Amino acid sequence: MSLDIEHIIVHSLFLDEQGQTQLATREQELATGPAVNRLMGELHHIYNTKAGKVFGYFSEEDTGFRDLVRRVQDQSLTFAAFSHLAAERLQAELQRLEMNEAGILLFVRYQWLGAHYLLIALLDNKDSVTVTDKLEVSHASYLDLGKMQLAARLDLTELQSRPDSHRYFSFIKGRAGRKVSDFFLNFLSCVEGMDPKAQSQGLLKAVDEYCAARQLSPEEKLESKALVSKYCREQLKEGEELELRELSAELGSDDDLDFYQFVSEEYQLEERFPVDRSALKGLTKYVGSGGGLTISFDQKLLGERIQYDAATDTLVIRGTPPNLKSQLQGQH
């Protein structure tokens, strides 16, 4: 499925000799073509499949960025002028917090699957070397898209149709040791809303209790959990969100109760949300760690190769994995 790029422009944040963040702006939008289309195709795919995104909405206290969005939407600002003002706002936020950042600042408005999006990303510009057509070694620079750490996307269609939503913004949570909220959320006039990890954990609880409510056998319960896991992993692979109605159809139902009805009555789950990859293990595995010990095994093994005695808090494993067995034998 192709993207329709409506507007795209890049600017540059760089550090001067004093280590202060400076801004260099481009006056005109980029012309679309094979290189720009490929860039956006890769960027869109990476953003969609990036794990750990968080959702948010515009703050009521700081309306600066929202006002810029409104002006570009009603065409009282050109897209280029909007990007200049937004870039200056980001630079000012960095200076206010005494933070230094450098990279290529990209603004793009595009259409995908009938919805309009505004994507803003600060991309790392890396230095490398290449071999030219004349077989000469030459210096080269490239955008390191795979390590994109600072990016946010505004769903303009949802903002217009559901202004009270708490999820029309999505953003990538900062880099190691620092949260993006240090400056990026302030720049966007955005506050955190829906938490996909909490939604995913709520889903796991709902699946467990739904299986109990239907009085499924242990085997049927494992099959149901495996179906949920398969559906979630397929959605993750495609960069799509979990849809409760779709998942309910995958699980099937008896005459009295289906999964969608069950969660609608008792759980505060969104109609759709991105699955948190780390939470999926809880569907098919038992996982635990502490005191220098980490254990993970398929739930179907409990009662077969693995026995748990609650009275003595003892776990008995019959048939250790070959690589673990060889390590243990090497100690004797």
The pLDDT tens digits along the chain (332 residues) read 578 999 999 999 988 888 888 899 999 999 999 999 999 999 998 888 887 788 899 988 888 999 999 999 999 999 999 999 999 999 998 888 888 888 899 999 999 988 999 999 988 877 777 777 877 787 767 677 777 778 999 999 999 999 988 889 998 865 544 555 567 888 999 888 877 888 888 898 999 999 888 888 888 888 888 899 999 988 888 878 889 999 998 887 666 678 998 888 778 888 888 888 877 887 888 888 888 888 888 888 888 888 888 889 898 888 888 888 888 887 76
Same domain, 217 and 303: no
Q: What is the pTM of this model?
A: 0.71
Domain boundary among 133, 161, 194: 194
In total, how many domains does the chain have? 3
190 and 234 share one domain: no
Q: Are residues 245 and 300 in the same domain?
A: no
* Distance of alpha carbon 86 from alpha carbon 156, whole angstroms: 16
Same domain, 167 and 54: yes
Q: Are residues 241 and 124 in the same domain?
A: no
Q: Which domain holds residue 116?
A: 4-194
Whole-angstrom distance, CA of residue 307 vs CA of residue 318: 9
Burial 136-175 (b: 16+ CB within 10 A, else e): eeeeeeebeeeebbbbbbbbbebbeeeeebebbbbbbbbe
CA angle 118, 123, 125 (to 5 degrees): 150
